[in-house]
Homo-oligomer: A and B are copies of this chain.
Amino acid sequence: MPNPDLALDDLAVGDSWSGGPITVTEADIIRFAREFDPQPMHTDPDVAAQGRFGGLIASGWHVASLVMRDFVDTAPFGATPMLGLRVDELQWLHPVRPGDILQIRREIVAIARSRSKPDRGTISMKMTVTNQDGAVVLSFLNLIQMPARSDAGA
C-alpha cells in the first residue's frame, strides 16, 4: 500500500504494511547503549557472554528507535502529517543480538474519528517486529493522530 498522503478516510482496520529488513550490528548496539543504556549486557561483549543472555543484546529502546526510523523511511501514509500520541502493550519478547535481521509488520487495529474535531482522528497500529528466525522480538500498539477530510463527517 505505497499510497501517498493518505487521510483517515482512506484507511480500514486490517490494512497492513511491512518494514525492514533492518540489520542490527554489534557496533550499533554498543554505540546506542553507551549513550542511552550503559549496562554491560548492552555495551560489553565479554561481560555479556557471562550473563543471563549469553551474549550482547540490544537495548530495548534501541530496537524501538529502529522501528521509528523504519516508519519514517517506509512512510506508509506518504507526507500526511501524523503525530504519535501514545504507546501501549510494548513488550520486549526476545533478545535482539548482533547480526539479527529484523522485519516489521504494521496493521491498523482501530480507527476513531474525533467527535469534537472532525478534521482529525486516530488510528491504532499494531507493530510486530520479528527476527530472521521468525521470533517476535518486540510488539506494541501505537496510537497515531492523523488528518481526516472534513467533508467525510457530513
User: A68: which B residues are within 8 A, CB to CB?
Assistant: 36-37, 59, 61
User: A72: which B residues are within 8 A, CB to CB?
Assistant: 37-39
Stretch of A12-20, A89-97, A98-106, A110-118 lying at the B interface:
A89-97
Please give the number of chain A residues whose Cβ is less than 8 angstroms from any Cβ of chain B in the complex: 27
Q: Which residue of chain B has its CB nearest to the CB of A60?
A: B84
Q: A64 at the A/B interface (Cβ < 8 Å)?
A: yes
A85 to B92: give the CA distance in the assembly, Å.
Answer: 6
With both chains docked as a complex, state the minimum distance between the C-beta of A37 and any C-beta of chain B, in angstroms. 5
Q: A153 at the A/B interface (Cβ < 8 Å)?
A: no
User: Can you identify 20 A-B contacts, CB atoms within 8 angstroms?
Assistant: A36-B66, A36-B68, A37-B65, A37-B72, A38-B69, A59-B68, A61-B61, A61-B64, A61-B65, A61-B68, A62-B65, A64-B64, A84-B92, A85-B91, A86-B91, A86-B92, A87-B90, A87-B140, A88-B88, A88-B90
